[in-house]
A and B are shown apart, each in its own frame.
Chain A
Amino acid sequence: MATTITKTETLVGKRIRRREDPRLITGTACYLDDIKIPGMHHACIVRSTHAAAKIKGISSQAASELPGVVAIFTGADIAKLGAVPCAASLPGLRVPHHHLLAQDRVYFVGHPIAVVVATDRYIARDAADLVEVDYDVLPAVADPEKAIAAGAPPVHPEWPDNVAFTFHQEGGDTEQAFRDAEIVVKQRITSQRLIPTAMETRGVVAEWRPGDKAMTLWSSTQIPHLMRTMVAGILGMNENLLRVITPEVGGGFGSKLNVYAEEALMGFVAMKIGKPVKWVESRRENFTCTIHGRGHVDYFELAAKRDGTMLGLKLKLIQDLGAYHQLLTPAIPTLSVLMMPGLYRFKNISAEIVGAFTNCVPTDAYRGAGRPEATHGIERMVDILAAELKMDPAEIRLKNFVGNDEFPFPTATGLMYDSGNYAAPLHQALETVSYESLRKEQTAARAAGKLMGIGMSTYGEICAMGPSQALPAGGWESATVKVEPTGKVTVLTGCSPHGQGEETTFAQVAADELGCDIDDVMVIHGDTAIVQYGIGTFGSRGTAVGGAALFYALQDLKAKMKKFGAMLLESENVVFGGGACVDEATGKSVSFAEMATAAYHAKKLPPNTEPGLVATHFWEPPNFTFPFGAHIVVTEVDRETGAIDIKRYVAVDDCGKILNPLIVDGQVHGGVAQGLGQALWEEAVYDENGQLVSGELTDYAIPRAPYMPWIESSHTTTPSPVNPLGVKGVGEAGTIGCSPAVVNSVVDALSPLGVRHIDMPLTPQKIWNLIQQGGRA
């Protein structure tokens, strides 16, 4: 028995560089559009140019005569296939039948009408231009408040009020809270429609093998397994004959947490033409046909005592749903309601959601998905209350936080906050900016005529989605760990990471638990033929749910390896760790590889033990996790132009235990960038005819590297008791914490002019107008 060197260094908690990055930054990764299959055809989709119209006729004669065009399909061809799925359910929800292609009517600009298939993508594109659609144009409505007003054009004629659902939630006794109030502040707050704008647009490749009656579908998605089940359902095929492969995904942010018409449509086309087919979304299609985010009009009322004690919150939320429900569309605003109490102790809430159909592309999950809207609302309302009471915004927050001794804390919305120390990140952020002297600096700046603002947000979020009770198709996650005969370790995760870095963090966890070298660990995901069923990556769940599943699978595997170690050492008293099994009495050890080989060669087996080293765990989380944090933003507004300069950005995030600070930094930075996007630049603008005016990247301003402020990022650490890793999730934190801190800062800057609220995005034009009007919005 060889002397084995045991490994003592642990990797969890270290700044390990992402193992994914070399292939991504050297251009050797395989994205969807890199896939080429012999005989592959190309599809181009003919889309509606009107937001509302009857289709009187489709003429595809000229297109079909173009050399290279092999097929053109329209609504009639797919009428008997299943619908684009909506997994969310709410009482009384009106669900329009969402065909893969329009039938006799179109409901938004970009609505797919026909698919043209050709031998190359240029011919397909040319042919699509030759398909003539004869429209009878109808009045459209693109604004959710206008849509639910009397006399609006009906989006779906069967529901003339354009109300898809109403949803009411009460907690505590809000009416009593408002009777007890000494002050009530009210504000209409919008959270504008945003375009997720993943760097890689969507795309699908479908290959049908008639001999096997089997299909392989490649899709740039966050949810390969759920997609397999749902696309098989739409096409009426057995799901075990459908294999979904997720190649490298160039950003999702929720926009690829969906099953779109195009996946099943390409499957249908591949079956019909008997050839593989590829469709890659153009940027214009991405803007008009992939889901948008946000789209709220919120009416808040906050009741409080004059000492700043908050008593109750009322919300009327009008959600712009768009024309259809995509996978989770109607569920997103319910997340806003769940998180509307924020980090505060008050127990009285009343919320009403009105889901409004509009002639626009559907909204759905976009980074934060309902929580940025809620956080923006409550954090703006707290600032408005503080201003009315002439209280310091930090003081009013500290006064109302849930106390450290109150966890687990049941909220008025029925949640159970897992753990928290809400004052800690705020104190840390205040210290970082030297808050008291910063306020003095502000006083001096104001005296000098400058518009300097200091704004903060203290956010809470709901992550680690989630217990299966709360998710339509299960909220658990799965992991399989295999130690191969040579001692190499393969991890199969049901998550489908696409930028979150789990190929690195999961390898860190596996290497630590098994005591093996991280270079011996391979993390595989995103192929339904290789990986056991999983749920996917969204809702800051990858590490907090998928990582926990991995942890438990590793425990099972360690127990089994230890049995082989004991057998080889012929001892009962062995310790497994550091990449070896050691007989404590004799000091003899066997290496990781020796145990692995023994398990597969199986010349001898421990009692009641099967050969092989494979463990699978499906982990059901007992609760969500609730990360929190405090962001402070210092701004200066150019009085002449309305331009906003971010002088400082301080982010203190508590995401529980940190597995890899480098990756957490990246998530915070990216999240803050997208939060700044909403706060300052981005807005999907539809005109009254339902045309997307901000329809190109030349009009729609996404954050660019040079626009970013320096982010002073730090953390407090409050482990979550929900999972064995103590992690909470961080993918959406930056986005959620950012926008209210920025807006609070700019409102603070303009408060000497009497400004108390500004809706996003805070464009220079909007700020200048306010300054011109002396603050009267």
Chain B
Amino acid sequence: MKKKILYLAVALSFSAGLGTASFALAAESEAPAPAATKVPNNWAYKPVQSVTAPTVKNEKWVKTPIDAFILAKLEEKGLQPSPEASRATFLRRATLDAWGLLPTPEEVENFENDRSPNAYQTVVDRLLASPHYGERQARSWLDLARYADSAGFQNDQTRPNNWRYRDYVIQAFNEDKPFDQFIREQIAGDELWPDKLDTKIATGFLAGYPDNYNSRDLVQRKYQIETDITDLVGETFLASTIGCARCHNHKIDKISQKEYFQLQAFFANVVVNEKAPLPKGSELPADKIYAEQQAAYQAATKDIRAKQKAILDTVREKGRKYHNERYLTDSRDSIFKPEKDWTPLDKWVNYRTNAVASERDISAYLKDSAENKKSKEYDPANEARWAEYEKLTAELKKFDHLRPGKGSSTYTAVSELGTEAPETRVRFTGIHEKPLEAVEPAVPALWSGNNTKLNIVPTATSTGRRTALANWIASPENPLTARVYVNRAWGQFFAKGIAENPGDFGRAGPKPTHPELLDYLADNFVKNGWSTKQLHREILLSNVYRQASAEREDIIKADPDNSLLAVYPRKRLEAEEIRDALLYASGKLDGTIGGPAVFPQVPSNLTAGNTLNNGGGGGLWETSKDVKDFNRRSIYTFIRRSLPYPLTASFDPADPSHPHHKRDVTTTPLQALTLFNSDIVVGWSQALAGRVISDVGNDEGAQLDRLYQILFSRKPDRTEKAALKDFLKKEEKAIQAKAWTDKYEIAVPTGLEDTQRLDPIKSAAFVDLVHAVSNSNDFAYRF
């Protein structure tokens, strides 16, 4: 209650001129609520302050300045931080957070035995130096980038080269690319470094919007694409729900509809080439494999395809015209206008028309003109052509097994169609058919104070608008960028951001619980050259991060949300972590980094009845023929927007239709069914059982120790061990009982070189034990 009164008093004091009185009141009111009431509504837009760590009573506890900020608030409330977690718990926690994988028992042992004062630094530096680090950190960024390997909408066609952007992100984290550079490359890499391939691939960030290649209204499509990109940039870098201002002035934050469209204008001239040919000499090993496979397929099907082309050539002109006439009026106006009269918008529409034109348009025309006697296009001569064409299609299908299952010889990048952009107009209630006044690019005053107009310098081929925007976002003076980013980082390690909603720094989002800490981190981040690794390092080495997660009665009473972090917040592993950690524990993880997205096994009923194809001649999910692909890290699993990968789908993965700011945690029986029943997971349990037996031989006690060390970084305690042994006895009986039935098949450990000395019943019981243990909370959570 005190909080409310204070709030009101402060609010009124501004209008009534009683500031002193109200603050005196603040000082007198007792025990303010933990949420920082003094933080003003517009906290996020004030310049980042250079803050020094507060003084605390228990100075010994402070290992990094972070600790002082956290401890100061705890001391204010008379609370103690939690004791340090054990080294093993710490390492499991840190390895999951840094790599998304488990530490090996050897890594734990080394760490536990490292008595040097730098033991923690050594281990954290080791984690940050591994390429696994980038594989884990990239995933969070891809959540924001609404990354997928397909286009979405009805046909959900494959985007065969999007993985190049994904690999760019992984590499950016691994080489600790300064975040300001990372911003510039992703927003304007093509303008700033037109000669570099990787900065062009970086613009795949913008290009990842869900797209409908069949859209007949290209002017609307353009608007939808710009809308997606504007919202993406606003949400991701600036934690603003800017999208709300598209249809009306923002109801909560002071952003007008006009300002929204001014921001959208930065992207008015953007086009995406999804099929840019890879420059010679830049091919990766995966590209060479693709090229070979593609060449083999091309060679084998050369004649058929030539014949098909010859048939389509007979109707090509008519078919193309027919297809183009089916666009909506304003698109048609552009398409049928002579090129010399093209406005920038006409250029855009024509670019798009060509980009989505395909042989299928012509074959569809041929079909219609051959079969549909009511159609004006009907031509009896086409009947035979269509029959022949269909025959050839069937023949071509026989060579499908030769098609490359993944990869491409292209890349996707953003560019512009000249130095002049199509005009951007405010849209009445956000509807594209209702244009109002035209606007020029500018950033909302809420974010930028009075400097809303940026200095835009065109390049030779481009408006330069995105460069100006990228430079503004990546500027050390921008109050939002660094704060938003460090807040996200904090949320990754402590389950919640300092400002709880990482996607909304506006008035609707909760205010930061530790605003000074947020500023300290943001300020330091910029001073350290926007280094993500240094930021993560400081967090990982803080005493806050080292705390035990065991529940505390006093904290539950005093701070039930744990917003003061007196206890380390335990968290369920994310979808990818669950799969990767199990795969890793089983010893089967294929460590290959990067490359085309892969298709691991799926339940047989996944695609049953699904008639859609991927746009390249295959189905939506064609399980890889290469079993190595089954064991790659989850970040490499193909993301089909309409068909989430079933094994991880129930564990709250990112939804790629929008920037995904925070992974939810749901707990459902479907998750239990997945982990307990999936034959894939059972297969990993068999492999893990085999690994344990190979490691320590047949001694039961040693096996149990080893298993626990692999999965939980600790040995089982006495009660657990007793339960495990008791289980083995019972389970052996149950398996023996099966011998009396007709079907006597058992799951035994796999991957063993010597299976001679294996007791099948004992070892099958051990597989079941491994399986149950890897389903437990101790596995699925990091404590």
Do they bind each other? no
